[in-house]
């Protein structure tokens, strides 16, 4: 049995999130490993991995905000909305001004409705959307509400396509809610500007409280494998509620307690001796257990 805890991995380009999970299973010596939020193979950066009991945290961690550094290429559209797909259309980006770019970015900031990329893992009638696209189907996905809390442009560079079309590469940082597709932001930015657009680079630098400074490469983990203890991980991710031995006993036995008034969302409950007991949420003034961590 492996240790209970969280591993913050700096995922390299070219690997799927599932491949990273497989690597961690070998290093941890357990099959009970999962990840909290997929990264595409071309993307790098923070991938939160749960080991043993910490896998129960993942569904709740995936609901947190995320931050990305990305490069958007204006002037080309692709079938996948990123650099891994075939170019489907080109249009010169030479006439795009900084003022027009900033205005388009502003329109994609805040609470917006976003149509996910067609090559996403969203299921359509029981089949993954990307599978339908690969099979030659024309997929139409419904728009979904997402929040882009920040969308900042850092640099704009001129580039030229193989056919001579003038392109612009735009380096951005995006802070957003879970479920936001950065590829779709690139596509929609290009559509707004009349040039088309796609993603050429993507690096996730933060998931909730976990940032790239905490992340370790697979090579580093292979040399010295360790997890962030489950209690510490929960303390960093959620509001903390310390309870007495009697309250802990009642919670473990499924008895609802008076809510501590810490607001909406999961709350990490700790008993005596800093023992992590459960994640709870407040409902009608009482606690409801979301996940227990006492065997």
Q: Which residues have a catalytic role annotated?
A: 40
Selection from 266, 269, 291, 292 nearest residue 281 by Cα = 266
The residue ranges of DSSP E strands in 36-114, in sequence order, are: 44-51, 66-74, 76-78, 87-90, 110-114
Place of tokens 């079309």: 165
Q: What is the CA radius of gyration of the chain?
A: 22
As given in the structure block, the two tokens for residue 140 are 């139409």
Q: Compute, in degrees rounded to 10, the torsion defined by CA atoms 142, 144, 150, 153.
A: 0
Residue indicated by tokens 């497989």 = 22
Decide: helix, strand or coil at residue 237: helix
3-state secondary structure of 190: helix
Residue 219 in tokens: 């090579």
- What are the residues whose beta carbons fall under 8 Å from the beta carbon of 221, sequence distance 6 or more? 7, 9, 24, 27
Coil, strand or helix: which one is 159? strand
Residue 9 contacts residue 37 (beta carbons within 8 Å): no
Reduce the DSSP state of residue 89 to 3 states and report it.
strand
Contacts of 256 (CB under 8 A, 6+ apart): 286, 287, 288
How far is residue 26's CA from residue 3's CA, in Å, rounded to a whole number? 13
Residue the block writes with tokens 């009608």: 284
């Amino acid at each position: 049995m492996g240790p209970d805890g969280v591993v913050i991995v700096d995922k390299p380009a070219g690997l799927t999130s599932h491949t990273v999970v497989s690597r961690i299973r070998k290093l941890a010596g357990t099959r009970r490993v999962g990840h909290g939020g997929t990264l595409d193979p071309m993307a790098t950066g923070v991938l939160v991995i749960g080991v043993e009991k910490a896998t129960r945290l993942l569904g709740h961690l995936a609901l947190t905000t995320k931050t990305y550094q990305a490069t958007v290429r204006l002037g080309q559209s692709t079938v996948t909305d990123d650099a891994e797909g075939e170019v489907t259309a080109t249009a010169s980006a030479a006439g795009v001004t900084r003022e027009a770019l900033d205005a388009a970015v502003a329109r994609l900031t805040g609470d917006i409705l976003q149509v996910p990329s067609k090559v996403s893992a969203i299921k359509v009638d029981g089949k993954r959307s990307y599978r339908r696209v690969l099979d030659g189907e024309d997929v139409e996905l419904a728009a979904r509400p997402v929040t882009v809390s920040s969308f900042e442009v850092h640099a704009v560079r001129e580039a030229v396509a193989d056919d001579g079309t003038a392109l612009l590469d735009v380096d951005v940082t995006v802070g957003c809610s879970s479920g936001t597709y950065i590829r779709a932001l690139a596509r929609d930015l290009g559509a707004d500007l009349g040039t088309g657009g796609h993603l050429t680079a993507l690096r996730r630098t933060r998931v909730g409280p976990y940032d790239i400074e905490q992340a370790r490469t697979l090579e580093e983990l292979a040399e010295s494998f360790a997890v962030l203890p489950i209690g510490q991980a929960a303390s960093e991710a959620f509001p903390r509620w310390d309870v007495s031995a009697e309250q802990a006993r009642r919670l473990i036995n499924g008895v609802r307690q008076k809510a501590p008034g810490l607001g909406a969302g999961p709350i990490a409950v700790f008993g005596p001796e800093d023992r992590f007991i459960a994640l709870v949420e407040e409902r009608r003034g009482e606690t409801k257990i979301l996940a227990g961590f006492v065997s």
